Structure 1
């Protein structure tokens, strides 16, 4: 809230504009999707998916890792990746403890898969919504489509799973953390509305299909789905209200005003010119934007980082007369693919306590994947989103 307040008091933005982003279409979309995601968890569908996943994997260590990463990543593309990770934690911890396997070897791969899965769709993670909102505000450019982020994300998702199975697991710590046993009973303790499971699932499928096909506008589809979960009894009004991550909503809306201010004051142009002047090619600019965004995101909110860099990406593209889409895609991907600290993304933070990880554990297992996502992005992004 201090961002729009400061921008209003200093006269950088008119108060009406500074606070207008709380009604931004992407704020509305994410509010709706938080509620729909909660219905998937409250009706027991998400928990059932988790149970089925570990049952199918059996006692195979690598089978469990691959299947959990695959299922959680796909769930994170369509649901809240924070909620999906939270649902899987007690299931996976319980399975690990019952088979004398350390949860430390499973929870970090889960968190990484959740972040990578968010890059598959426009609703998978807030930075994707930020990028589209900035594109929409510019009026010159069309937004990315529902699955367009997935053109790059699918490669990163598959390579991320392969990395953890072939190399990453060797870099994970071992040993059972204190307090892990407390998670074994949490999964079944919550009262679920199992009789509403199929109703919730049908609402969810209706919303996703509507968004993917464009039959209904994204914000209308999200809010219609949210209202249907209440009308049909999947959630109560209080549960729907509490399911919204208000931290994300306020951060999202507040930082969008900062994004506009960076553009209006010429700060974006100043930074863009600095980067453009020291770069000899669009590919170098792409690399600089990716690395800078990823480094900052590892130590601050990925939503805030995306909001700051999105207008800079557009301004750089216009100053060197190339398409802004590869730069914005790099910023979106770099904002989500951060693995070297526990505060980089919500999934990273969720598994910190249950697994008893240290900062060093994230860096040790995460830096190779951070490097891999950078290299793959530099190859894939210009192919699907050319500079000209």
Structure 2
């Protein structure tokens, strides 16, 4: 059996295991490069090569910075300031969605929902609004807002890594590269919720009560100020790297910010280690070898040829739309990180086979992977609102489909504009 065929079998097996969700996701990811090694597709040195990938280090560094932002109460204080200027249900839907979206552009969507959930519950109670009316926009903003920057979600980094690696370094992805699509998409969905949110989201009484007034009075003021300064300098350093060559790579900047916060005593070493999202690291580090194998063995080209043969002489926009819909469908039932990892290399190969600029197609895959809004298991943050908001599975579907349609239209219109195919 050829190496390409073996790689495809492992790819299919990984997809099936992710979808049925009977084994831990991290374990499946860890077993993928092992399977590639024992079948002779990759060498021993390639199994763990991606553990020290710059994108992995970037994730770890920003996990620590984000943890300090939450621990010191800065996230809570900031969100309270943003959410106190409107009392109408439509206004609150819009503010919750947009604030959640902006925050998740710089910290994880799960962290964003965790800090905003008790605040939103408190606001809903005080305003006499059914919590579900604000919780659905909360989690939608947390996943879609990740498209603002390259650190918003692992999928962003996977797309960045695919573009830079497969182009041989001739193409780069800046810190706010994805904002060209992410910000218009966030605005368009915000308009949808403002005008139609009440009709799209079901009416349900609240579930369990969540403490809506956490106490951060024991946190010294200097820790809050210091954390804010470090976070701002870290993000500014990442942004300016695109323009100032003497600055360190962004993953070094993130790790430096993390180290400074621990050295200053804002976080303990134990708290810093506890902040690491190990599952994300596993997904990124141990699924990369599969992407490389798809490219190196010709398996990706086989998939590309199959897709092209099914769509005939379709234009790149049709292929991009097909991959967008495929990715979007997968991530409603499996990890968006896994879907992005599996499909980004395939998207690159398909576009390259057509002689088109692959960036639009790769970015389309990752944008679609962030529209995880139709089921409670699409992302962990979705499941966090089930009990407090008394949210049911079917409550995600109607608003989720509307949000997905808006995101699809925005993606199809703007991607060819910013990344012309030819």
**Normalising by the residue count of structure 1, what TM-score does the alignment of the two structures yield?**
0.95
Partner deviation per Cα, 1:107-132 (whole Å, 9 max, x = no partner): 11011111111001111111010011
Shift of 1:133: 1.4
Q: Which residues of 2 match residues 119-198 of structure 1 at below 5 A?
A: 119-138=147-166, 139=168, 141-179=170-208, 181=209, 183-185=210-212, 187-188=214-215, 192-198=219-225
Q: Which residue number corresponds to residue 363 of structure 1?
A: 397
Q: What is the aligned counterpart of 1:103 among 123, 131, 144? A: 131
Do 1:51 and 1:91's aligned partners in 2 also have CA atoms closer than 8 Å?
Answer: yes
Aligned residue for 1:208? 235
Q: Is the 8 A contact 2:163 2:359 kept in 1?
A: no
Among 335, 344, 363, which residue is 2:369 paired with?
Answer: 335
1:195-344 to structure 2, matched below 5 A, reads 195-214=222-241, 215-279=247-311, 280-344=314-378
1:284-319 Cα deviation digits (max 9, x unpaired): 111111011111111111111111111111111221
Identify the structure with the greater helix proportion.
1
User: What is the count of residue pairs matched by the alignment?
Assistant: 385
Q: Give 3-state SS (helix, strand or coil) of 1:351's partner.
A: coil
* Preserved contact between residue 101 and residue 141 of structure 2 (Cα < 8 Å): yes
Deviates more, 1:137-146 or 1:367-376: 137-146
Tell me, yes or no, if the aligned pair for 2:206 and 2:389 is still in contact at 8 Å.
yes
Q: What RMSD, in angstroms, separates the aligned Cα atoms of the two structures?
A: 1.6
Q: Contact 2:121/2:212 (CA < 8 Å) preserved in 1?
A: no
Q: In the alignment, what sits opposite 2:19?
A: none
In structure 2, the gaps of 5 or more residues are 1-29, 242-246
Report if the CA contact (8 A) 2:73-2:216 is conserved. Answer: no
Paired residue secondary structure (1:355): coil
1:12-47 deviation digits (Å, cap 9, x = unpaired): 111211221111110110110111001101111101
Larger displacement relative to structure 2 (352-361 or 189-198)? 189-198
In 1, are the aligned partners of 2:373 and 2:404 still within 8 Å (CA)?
A: yes
Structure 1 residue 368, shift from structure 2 partner: 1.3
Counterpart CA distance in 2 for 1:365 and 1:50 is 24
Displacement of 1:353 after TM fit?
Answer: 2.7
Question: Could you say what secondary structure the match of 1:97 adopts?
Answer: helix
**Does the Cα contact within 8 Å between 1:91 and 1:187 map onto a contact in 2?**
no
* 1:14 equivalent among 25, 37, 43: 43
Measure the CA separation in 2 of the matches of 1:334 and 1:188.
38
Aligned partners of 1:33 and 1:80 also within 8 Å: no
The 2-side partners of 1:67 and 1:252 are apart by 32
Q: Which runs of 5+ in 1 are unaligned?
A: none
Moved more, 97-106 or 31-40: 97-106
Q: Which residue of 2 aligns with 1:80?
A: 108
